[in-house]
Amino acid sequence: MTKQQLTQHILDKKSYLCVGLDTELCKIPKHLQLSPNAIVNFNKAIIDATKEYCVSYKINTAFYESMGAKGWEMMEETLHHIPDTHFKIADAKRGDIGNTSAQYAKAFFETLPFDAITVAPYMGEDSIRPFLEYENKFTIVLGLTSNKGANDFEMLQTGNHFLYEKVISTIASWGTPNNLMFVVGATQAKQISSIRKIIPDNFLLVPGVGFQGGSLKDVSDAGLNSSIGLLVNASRAIIYASDKENFDSEAAEIAKQYQVEMQDYLTGI
Amino acid sequence: MTKQQLTQHILDKKSYLCVGLDTELCKIPKHLQLSPNAIVNFNKAIIDATKEYCVSYKINTAFYESMGAKGWEMMEETLHHIPDTHFKIADAKRGDIGNTSAQYAKAFFETLPFDAITVAPYMGEDSIRPFLEYENKFTIVLGLTSNKGANDFEMLQTGNHFLYEKVISTIASWGTPNNLMFVVGATQAKQISSIRKIIPDNFLLVPGVGFQGGSLKDVSDAGLNSSIGLLVNASRAIIYASDKENFDSEAAEIAKQYQVEMQDYLTGI
C-alpha cells in the first residue's frame, strides 16, 4: 500500500485507528477458548466487527510466537483475513546485521503480505536498509516508545539532543515519508510536537492510547499534519472490551467511539 | 543450563565455539537442495559433524521466519536435534514493552527449549526484565555489534561514555553473570578490553569471527576471564565450508581448527 492510498482510506473512513491483535487464549471469551482454532476465530470475528471503523491492523508477533509453529500459522491465517483495504502491520521489532535483516524483510514482506513492520534502531543503518528497499512497503522504526523503560536509553542526552531525537533525525534521512514511519508512544504526547518538527511529513504510529493511558486528543493535536500522518493503535481496550458472547459487537462499539472522536479531529485538516 | 555447567562443558571440550545455523536453501550443497526437508537434514548433518568441537549452537531466527510457519517448524526440528550438552541460543534480537517481552520469553524459554535469547536494549528495563526472570536461562543483550551500523548509534557519546558502554553498565545491574550475557562483535576487539572492565564476570557472545573479519586471537586475548566468560560464534565460515558431498566433514574440519586454536588460548586460564 502506498502513503497516498493509506491517506485516502483514512479520509474515506474518517478514521486513523489501528486495531492491535495482541490475542491471548486466556483472555478471549471463555465460550471460545475450547473451540478448535479459537485464536483465529476470535481474530476473524474482531476483524469483521471492527473493519468499518479502522484503517489498519497490527499483529503483535510475540503473542503468536509464544505458541510456536502453530502460532505462526495462526498469524498467517489471521493476516489473510484482513481486507486489502486495511494497512497490515507486523509489530515485530526486528533488526539485525544487513544479511539477517534482509531475511526478516523477506519473511514479512514476501512470504507474508504485510504492508509494514516495526524495526528496532540500535544496530544502525545496515540493519534498517534492507526493509527500506521494498517498494510500497513501510519500515516503522522505534522512536520514543510508550513504556517506562523509554527513560533508560531513549531519553539519554547525546550532544544537544535526546537519543530518540538523534535516532529519528538520522534515520529519517535514510528513507522518505513514502517508506518510513516512526513509533511514538501516546504516553509521550508532550514530545510529539517536538518530533513533528524533526519529521513534519512522516507518518507516526502511536501505541499506548487506552490501557497505557495516553490521550487521543493530545496525540491528535500534536501529531496530525496536513496529510494526516497519524495512525493510532489500540489493542486491549478494543479486543478485550467484553469477555461475553457479544465480545465482537462490544469491540465494534469501542472502535466506533475512537472513530467518532477521530472524525472530529480530522475536520480541521 | 547454568553458567557453571556451561563453563564445565567448555573445559571438557577445550572449546568455547558456538556454531551459527544461519541456513539458507540456496547456499546448501546442490545435492541436498531438492530433498524433502533439506534445511533440517543439512542442519542435522552439521550438528552431528561439529558437536565434538563446539559447546553451543546459535539459531538465527530470521533465516527460518523467511520461510513462514514451515520455517518455524524447521527451527523447532533443528533445535530438538541439538544435544542437551550444548548451549542453545535463539539469535532473535527481540524486545518490546513488558507484557509483550513476556510473550517472547515464553516463546523461546517455554514453548521452545532454548537456553538463551539475544535481546535488543533500546526500549529499556521493562523490555528486558521478563527474560531475566527465568531460572537457568540467559538473556544476551546487544552491547557493541559487529556491523558497520554500530557506528550510527552505539558509538554515540552520552555523558563521558559511548552509548554501548552506558547500555552495558546499566543493564549489567539488572541481572547477574548467572542470567545475563552481552553481544560484543569480534570486529571490535579493541573495545573488548574496555568492556571487560565494565563487566569482568559476564559471558560475552562474540559474533563476527570469520566472514566478518574478526581475529580469534585478538578476541580471546581481550575477552577471556578467569572463568572463561567467552563464546565465539562462527556461522558461514563453518556451515558453508564446502558445497560438495563432504560438506559435513569439511564443516567439522573448520570447527576443529577453531577448537584447536581455542585450546591454546585456554591453556593459560
Cβ <8 Å between A157 and B158 = yes
The number of C-alpha atoms within 13 Å of B234 and in the hemisphere containing its C-beta is 29
Cβ <8 Å between B147 and A121 = no
Q: Which three cell numbers stand for residue B55?
A: 559447546
CATH fold of B3-266, please?
Answer: TIM Barrel (3.20.20)
| Residue A59's pLDDT band (cuts 50, 70, 90) | very high
* In the predicted structure, residue A63 carries a pLDDT above the cut 90: yes
Q: How far is it, in rounded angstroms, from Cα A63 to Cα B107?
A: 8
Cβ <8 Å between B158 and A158 = yes
Query: CA angle at residue A67 from A64 to A72, to 5 degrees?
Result: 50
Q: What are phi and psi of B90, to 5 degrees?
A: -90, 110
The Cα of B161 is separated from the nearest Cα of chain A by a number of Å equal to 10
Q: If you average pLDDT over residues B183-198, what whole number do you get?
A: 88
Q: Are B140 and B119 in contact (CB under 8 A)?
A: yes
- Give which of A110, A114, A140, A115 is closest to A6, Cα–Cα: A115
**What distance, in Å, lies between the first and last C-alpha atoms of chain A?**
22
Q: Which of A59, A74, A103, A131 to mutate to test the interface with B (most CBs of B within 10 A)?
A: A103
Within 8 A of B90 by CB-CB distance, chain A residues are: none
Prediction ipTM score: 0.96
Other CB atoms within 10 A of residue B109 CB = 23
Beta-carbon contacts below 8 Å between A and B: 198
- Give which of B222, B218, B203, B226 is closest to B261, Cα–Cα: B218
Question: Which residues touch A191 (CB under 8 Å, ≥6 apart)?
Answer: A144, A164, A184
Q: How far is it, in rounded angstroms, from Cα A42 to Cα A64?
A: 13
- pLDDT tens column, B214-244: 789 999 999 999 989 999 999 999 999 999 9
- pLDDT tens column, B9-34: 999 999 999 999 999 999 999 999 98
| Exposed e or buried b per residue across A70-99, where buried means at least 16 C-beta atoms within 10 angstroms of its C-beta | ebbbbbbbbbebbeeebbbbbbbbbbbbbb
Q: Does the pTM exceed 0.90?
A: yes
Q: Are B174 and B124 in contact (CB under 8 A)?
A: no
Within 8 A of A142 by CB-CB distance, chain B residues are: 122-123
Which of A102-106, B187-191, B247-251 is predicted least confidently? B187-191
Q: Which of A68, A97, A170 sits opposite B146 (nearest CB)?
A: A97
pLDDT at residue number B269 = 73
- Give which of B67, B60, B76, B53 is closest to B21, Cα–Cα: B60
pLDDT at residue number B224 = 96
Q: Which of A91, A108, A147 sits opposite B124 (nearest CB)?
A: A147
pLDDT at residue number B70 = 96
- Give which of B260, B267, B244 is closest to B29, Cα–Cα: B244
Q: How far is it, in rounded angstroms, from Cα B43 to Cα B58?
A: 12
Cβ <8 Å between B125 and A149 = yes
- pLDDT tens column, A153-170: 999 999 999 999 999 999
- Give which of B136, B215, B201 is closest to B168, Cα–Cα: B201
Catalytic residues of A: 93
The Cα of B159 is separated from the nearest Cα of chain A by a number of Å equal to 7
Q: Which of B94, B111, B122, B140 to mutate to test the interface with A (most CBs of A within 10 A)?
A: B122
* In the predicted structure, residue A212 carries a pLDDT above the cut 80: no
* In the predicted structure, residue A190 carries a pLDDT above the cut 90: no
- pLDDT tens column, A238-265: 999 999 999 999 999 999 999 999 999 9
Cβ <8 Å between B149 and A66 = no
Q: Which of B22, B26, B65 to mutate to test the interface with A (most CBs of A within 10 A)?
A: B65
| Residue B263's pLDDT band (cuts 50, 70, 90) | very high
Cβ <8 Å between A149 and B127 = yes
Own/partner pairs, A262-265, CB within 8 angstroms, 24+ separation: A262/A14, A262/A15, A262/A16, A262/A17, A262/A216, A262/A220, A262/A232, A263/A14, A263/A15, A265/A216, A265/A217, A265/A220, A265/A221, A265/A224
- Taking the mean position of all CA atoms in its chain, how far away is CA A49? 19
User: Of residues B14, B27, B44, B93, which has the active-site annotation?
Assistant: B93
The Cα of A122 is separated from the nearest Cα of chain B by a number of Å equal to 6
| Residue B209's pLDDT band (cuts 50, 70, 90) | confident
The Cα of A108 is separated from the nearest Cα of chain B by a number of Å equal to 7
Q: Which of B60, B153, B170 sits opposite A124 (nearest CB)?
A: B153
Within 8 A of A80 by CB-CB distance, chain B residues are: none
* In the predicted structure, residue B35 carries a pLDDT above the cut 90: no
Residue B101: closest C-alpha in chain A? A62
* In the predicted structure, residue A211 carries a pLDDT above the cut 80: no
Cβ <8 Å between A127 and B149 = yes
Torsion angle of C-alpha atoms A21, A24, A30, A36, degrees rounded to 10: 90
The Cα of A64 is separated from the nearest Cα of chain B by a number of Å equal to 8
Cβ <8 Å between A72 and B69 = yes
The Cα of A172 is separated from the nearest Cα of chain B by a number of Å equal to 13
Q: Are B124 and A151 in contact (CB under 8 A)?
A: yes
Q: How far is it, in rounded angstroms, from Cα B43 to Cα B75?
A: 10
* In the predicted structure, residue A5 carries a pLDDT above the cut 80: yes
What average pLDDT does the structure give for chain B? 95
Cβ <8 Å between B147 and A157 = no
One-character DSSP codes across A153-179: TTT-EETTEEHHHHHHHHHHTTS-TTT
Q: How far is CA A251 from CA A34, A57, A209, B143, B254, in A?
A: 21, 14, 15, 42, 57
A136 dihedral zone (left: phi>0; alpha: psi -120 to 50; beta): left
Q: Which three cell numbers stand for residue A252?
A: 465494534
Q: If you average pLDDT over residues B54-69, what whole number do you get?
A: 98
B14 dihedral zone (left: phi>0; alpha: psi -120 to 50; beta): left
Within 8 A of A151 by CB-CB distance, chain B residues are: 124
- Give which of A225, A153, A29 is closest to B159, Cα–Cα: A153
